[in-house]
Amino acid sequence: MRDLNGIKISPIKDSKLFERLCRDLWKNDSSNINVDFYGSFGQEQDGVDVFGRKKNTNKWFGIQCKVRESKLTKLDIKNEILKAEKFNPKLEEYIICTTIKKDK
């Protein structure tokens, strides 16, 4: 496998492009099934942009995609989790993907 250290990829600024990237990453993971977008841009989505199921358990997961230049606060994250708790079917796993720079 090729070492990717030192390769710099420009941050994605287009939220729809970032959502497609996240969907495609999870869709191409063979441990997942039925991965797709949830709702349309501008609709209430219960904190979920992409959803699917784990093949081995059939449990649902949801992904929230955030294009950001500044950090996500604890309150931002808590609010997204509260929205995702309303998602039907119930999510077993919830993932927030973001474009912010890595920080401790």
Mean pLDDT computed over 36-40: 88
- Which of 24-33, 39-48, 61-70 has the lowest average pLDDT? 39-48
Task: Check if the beta carbon of residue 23 is closer than 8 Å to that of residue 35.
Answer: yes
pLDDT > 70: percent of the chain: 93
Q: Write the burial class of residue 1 (CB in 10 Å: 0-12 exposed, 13-18 middle, 19+ buried).
A: exposed
Task: Check if the beta carbon of residue 75 is closer than 8 Å to that of residue 45.
Answer: no
pTM: 0.87
Q: Is 28 helix (H, G, I), strand (E, B) or coil?
A: coil
- The amino acid present at 33, given as its one-letter code, is I
**Helix spans in the chain (H):** 15-27, 74-84
- Is the pLDDT at 44 greater than 80? The verdict is no
